[in-house]
Amino acid sequence: MKPITHQWTAVIRRQSPARLLLLSFMAMIATGAFLLMLPVASRKGALSFVDALFTATSAGCVTGLSVLDVAETLTPFGQGVLLTLIQLGGLGIMTLSTLLILGARGRVGFAGNLIIQDSFTHSGKKHPASILRSVIQVTVVIELLGALLLFSRFYPGSPSLGHAAWLSVFHSISAFCNAGFALYPDSLTRFRGDLLVNGTLAFLIITGSLGFLVISELQGKCRPGRWRWERFSLHTRLVVTTSAILLLSGGLLMLLFEWNNTLFGLSLPRKILAAFFQSVTLRTAGFNTLDFGVMANGTLFLSMILMFIGGSPGSCAGGVKTTTAATLFLMGLSRLRGAAHVSVFSRTIPAKSVEKATHLVMMAFVVVICGTLVLLSSEMGELTHSQSRGRFLELLFESVSAFGTVGLSMGVTPTLSTVGRLCITLLMFVGRLGPMVIAVAVSRDIAPRHRWAEEDIMIG
Amino acid sequence: MKPITHQWTAVIRRQSPARLLLLSFMAMIATGAFLLMLPVASRKGALSFVDALFTATSAGCVTGLSVLDVAETLTPFGQGVLLTLIQLGGLGIMTLSTLLILGARGRVGFAGNLIIQDSFTHSGKKHPASILRSVIQVTVVIELLGALLLFSRFYPGSPSLGHAAWLSVFHSISAFCNAGFALYPDSLTRFRGDLLVNGTLAFLIITGSLGFLVISELQGKCRPGRWRWERFSLHTRLVVTTSAILLLSGGLLMLLFEWNNTLFGLSLPRKILAAFFQSVTLRTAGFNTLDFGVMANGTLFLSMILMFIGGSPGSCAGGVKTTTAATLFLMGLSRLRGAAHVSVFSRTIPAKSVEKATHLVMMAFVVVICGTLVLLSSEMGELTHSQSRGRFLELLFESVSAFGTVGLSMGVTPTLSTVGRLCITLLMFVGRLGPMVIAVAVSRDIAPRHRWAEEDIMIG
Ligand SMILES: [K+]
Ligand SMILES: [K+]
């Protein structure tokens, strides 16, 4: 056995981190799709290849978009496969992105050293295996806590203890991994006034979207009496501040736009609860307690912006990430002030990171635009103009949701054509892994090669 | 007189180029709005302040969006004011942006020296006054030629020689300045099969959107027997190549998407003519021979991309400009190839220009997104969801069209509320002057100041 294992290890070691990331996700999704195609996975006859691939990608990339009703169509075996994909995908993304950031494989020339010093050097947790262990520990503890809280709500009135336990575990994992799969046909709309369910899920989603390094730094330094904002790394301060701003402003705007719409008829505390839960889940969990199909256009546009930004790096959340959005915002500010560098909290963000952020957002725009164009040609069918006008918003929303691995939908997912399903599958995959691959690729030190003479052009 | 003139010159000299640009445009638009508010300018009672401001901004920024029917509402005096604003706006933009690029005022540290050497040094045309003179010469010659060609079509069947001459001059100037105002209520839909009108206008629009430096370089080097692609500056080669690619691909896609829609019933040559004319006018003239209100969603999305890119720097065209789009595309390519520099045609584009391009596009996205958000809240009124869904596309289209100073509309302009009108007015102004101001601001050499210690964050 040993020589073969050794051979395999050698093959794996020879791959670049980016390729390894892509290959491992492809293998996981292919296995998942194969298992979901087995007759034992579905109650309504075996799934087609495209649907199985779509569902496996959506689970593995923790997106939550679904062409089928998970609770009704999938058997317990199928649901188990789905949950395994979510958990593996979530753990994989957290661990791999943390490793990529820390440059633990010794190949990535990433300047994450200050973060390493702050969070890891003192405890010696620098080895890949020990990081994976810590990630799993944190995940299991938080998910168990979430499942227990949910169980206390789901058990009374449930047909069996097993069923209540399954519901609790499923939704806890789905929330912490920011996957957004729910075992109810209306997502979580029925719980929109329930403080316990909303609070638990919001806690799971937020901790799941902050990123492992932030969690472990908060955990390590947040002892009573030792709390000092300046002691935290720039990364953690930026992540916490940006997340708080996005959550609060998202909730307030949601409240404002939907007051007389989807929030109509709810009491004031429930209005506030529903609006803030929706703001939490937009980045990028993908549960919904309100119906996105009937929201106001302004809300939907705002939602797309929040979905596009998404969560923080090194977490299960998707999108271009909070730090990217913050960096670009700060870059704009520093330009307006005529400053040469991008700074915040008495620190300068390195030019390399600013460049990485602009690349990432450009790539994201191009991918979403191309995806929308494909959907616009594949999903129009025989509609007349007045019927088809609304489709534009629905399909743009679907593209952004898939790219940000959010999983919210205005309701078009089950109606997609085969081309549309494949397009969304690809968008989810690119949206999940693209940002990480770009972060690695841009930070690679490029060997100086042959270079042409400079000649300027006019811009603007 | 002399001391006062001298005083004023001193005041003007003290302003930064960017502020001078903004102030001169504001003064021109304010004067225009005042003249349009006079009772003598309108056949239907004096225009309101908001409408006069909207119309003056649309003309001065050569946009072409209109809340009123120009031919029916405005008197010959009003139409004259409009045409003067278009001509002054067009000349002003061409001259000022050329001056800014050349750094002729000696303040702008723009690295346009290679372009100067290529196009100007040999003929000594470096002084602002001489550049203005050349710009006016080129403009008058091309517009006269266009007016003569149009006159040969408009005169037969016209009630009077004067009317035909006015129509010819108006549309020739409107086309060369990429303004897109037409004296027909349906823009130019009635001429969609007319080769002479389409050809003349396309020629005027294309020459007007290449930029003065490109025209004068083409004019200077394009002598028979001396033609060699490599002799042209990188800027000119990039502008010509990008424009050709955008025009051709836009025309082909328009043909494909609209074959059975707005092009239905036309003969094949007329289909091709109409599709390519529409592709020309999308960047960013704004005439239309096809009805954008009934186009397919795919066409409209593509149109928005073309409108967003727009024409070339130093011309009357708007948008983020061809060179900006080309630079970002080439940056993406060079990243994929793992190259450290952005190169094309055996030349390297300076990092400063790449940075300028990314800043410009970021700014453009933010402005369009904010504009759309304002319109989404101001223009929804009491519509139900199924009615309002289509408004999203219409308002997004309107925002992009205003920002790119294109002037195409899906038909919502005259229905805009007062807030909506002011929002579009602002978008036109920012879309016209923002890119130039950014190009100047970014190229300013920033004095090194106090700088915080670097600390990296994670991106992606
Ligand atoms: K999700
Ligand atoms: K225009």
Burial of A423 (0-12, 13-18, 19+ CB in 10 A): buried
Cα separation of B109 and A162, whole Å?
Answer: 73
Check if A333 contacts B (Cβ < 8 Å).
no
Section B123-151 average pLDDT:
78
CA dist B322 and A330 (Å) reads 27
Contact B338 A444 (CB under 8 A): yes
Give the residues across from A347 on adjacent strands. Answer: A344
- Are the Cβ atoms of A438 and B460 closer than 8 angstroms? yes
Rounded Cα distance between B307 and B406, Å, is 7
**Are A97 and A437 within 8 A, CB to CB?**
no
Compare all CA atoms of chain A with the CA of B386 and give the residue at the minimum distance: A390
Q: Do A341 and B451 touch (CB under 8 A)?
A: yes
Which residues, including other chains, have CB under 8 Å from residue B380's CB and lie 6 or more apart?
Answer: A296, A297, A298, B388, B391
Residue range B154-200, pLDDT digits in tens? 887 777 888 888 888 888 998 888 887 888 777 777 777 788 888 88
SS3 content of chain A, % helix, strand, coil (to 5): 70, 0, 30
How close, in Å, is residue A143 to chain B by CA atoms? 25
Q: Which two tokens stand for residue A220?
A: 């390590």
How far away, in angstroms, is B193 Cα from ligand 2 center?
Answer: 22
pLDDT the model gives residue A117: 39
Q: Please name which ligand lies nearest the alpha carbon of A205.
A: 1
| ipTM metric | 0.79
Contact between chains at A454 and B347 (C-beta distance less than 8 A): yes
> What local confidence, expressed as pLDDT, does residue A4 receive?
60
pLDDT value for B433: 83
Pairing relation of β-strands B342-344 and A347-349?
A: unpaired
Per DSSP, the residues of B376-388 read HHHS-TT--HHHH
Closest ligand to residue A284's CA? 1
In chain B, which among 210-239 make CB contacts under 8 A with chain A? 211, 213, 233-235, 238
Q: Which two tokens stand for residue A160?
A: 């069996």
- Centre of ligand 1 from the C-alpha of residue A63, in Å: 4
Among the ranges given (A153-157, B11-15, B211-215), the one the predictor scored with the smallest mean pLDDT: B11-15
Interchain contact, A335 vs B442, CB within 8 Å: yes
Collect all residues of chain A within an 8 Å Cβ-Cβ radius of residue B350. 454, 456
- Of B348, B388, B460, Cβ closest to residue A356: B460
Ligand index nearest the alpha carbon of residue A93: 1
What mean pLDDT do residues B431-437 have?
A: 80
The Å distance, Cα B178 to ligand 2 centre, comes to: 5
CA distance B40 to chain A (A): 38
Torsion angle (degrees, nearest 10) of CA A342, A346, A348, A349 = -80
Q: B277 alpha carbon to ligand 2 midpoint, in Å?
A: 14
Residue B261 has pLDDT above 50, yes or no: yes
Banded model confidence at residue B72, pLDDT cuts 50, 70, 90 = confident
pLDDT at B115 over 60: no
Residue-wise pLDDT tens for chain A (460 aa)? 455 666 666 666 666 666 777 888 888 999 999 998 888 888 877 788 888 899 899 888 888 888 888 888 888 888 899 899 998 888 888 877 777 666 533 333 333 443 443 444 334 445 667 777 888 888 888 999 999 988 888 887 777 888 888 888 888 998 888 887 888 777 777 777 788 888 888 888 888 888 887 887 777 766 666 667 777 778 888 888 999 999 898 888 888 888 877 777 778 888 888 888 888 888 777 777 777 777 778 888 888 898 899 888 888 888 888 888 898 888 888 877 767 778 888 788 887 788 888 888 888 888 898 898 888 888 776 555 556 777 888 889 889 999 988 888 888 888 888 888 899 999 988 888 877 776 665 555 455 556 666 666 666 6
CA distance A391 to A203: 34
- Phi, psi of B61, deg, nearest 5: -90, 15
* C-alpha of residue B179 to centroid of ligand 2, in Å: 4
φ, ψ of residue B347 to 5 degrees: the values are: -135, 150
The answer to whether the beta carbons of residues B128 and B92 sit under 8 Å apart is no
Separation of CA B63 and ligand 2 centre (Å): 4
**Which residue among A350, A361, A390 sits closest to B454, beta carbon to beta carbon?**
A350
Q: How far is B393 from chain A (nearest CA, A)?
A: 7
Enumerate residues 398 to 427 of chain A having a beta carbon within 8 A of any beta carbon in chain B. none
Spatial distance between the Cα atoms of B52 and B60, rounded to a whole number of angstroms: 12
pLDDT at B103: 57
Report how far residue A409's alpha carbon sits from residue A402's, in angstroms, rounded to the nearest whole number: 9
Measuring CA to CA, how many Å separate B404 from each of B23, B61, B236? Answer: 21, 10, 22
pLDDT on residue B118: 42
What's the 3-state SS for B239-285? HHHHHHHHHHHHHHHHHHHHCCCCCCCCCHHHHHHHHHHHHHHCCCC
Q: Which residue of A has its CA nearest to B431?
A: A460
Which residue did the predictor score with more confidence, B118 or B186? B186
Among all ligands shown, which has an atom nearest to the Cα of A310? 1
Looking at residue A400, its pLDDT comes to: 92
Please report the pLDDT score of residue B400 as a whole number.
92
Could you tell me which residues come within 8 angstroms of residue B393 by beta carbon, excluding any fewer than 6 positions away? A389, A392, A393, B297, B300, B410
**pLDDT level of residue B8 (50, 70, 90 thresholds):** low
pLDDT in tens, B332-355: 888 777 677 788 887 888 877 888
- Taking contacts as CB-CB distances below 8 angstroms, the residues of chain B near A101 are 458
pLDDT of residue A108: 33
Average pLDDT over chain B, rounded to whole? 78
The CA distance from B137 to the nearest CA of chain A, in Å, is: 23
Q: Quote the minimal CA–CA distance from B444 to chain A in Å.
A: 9
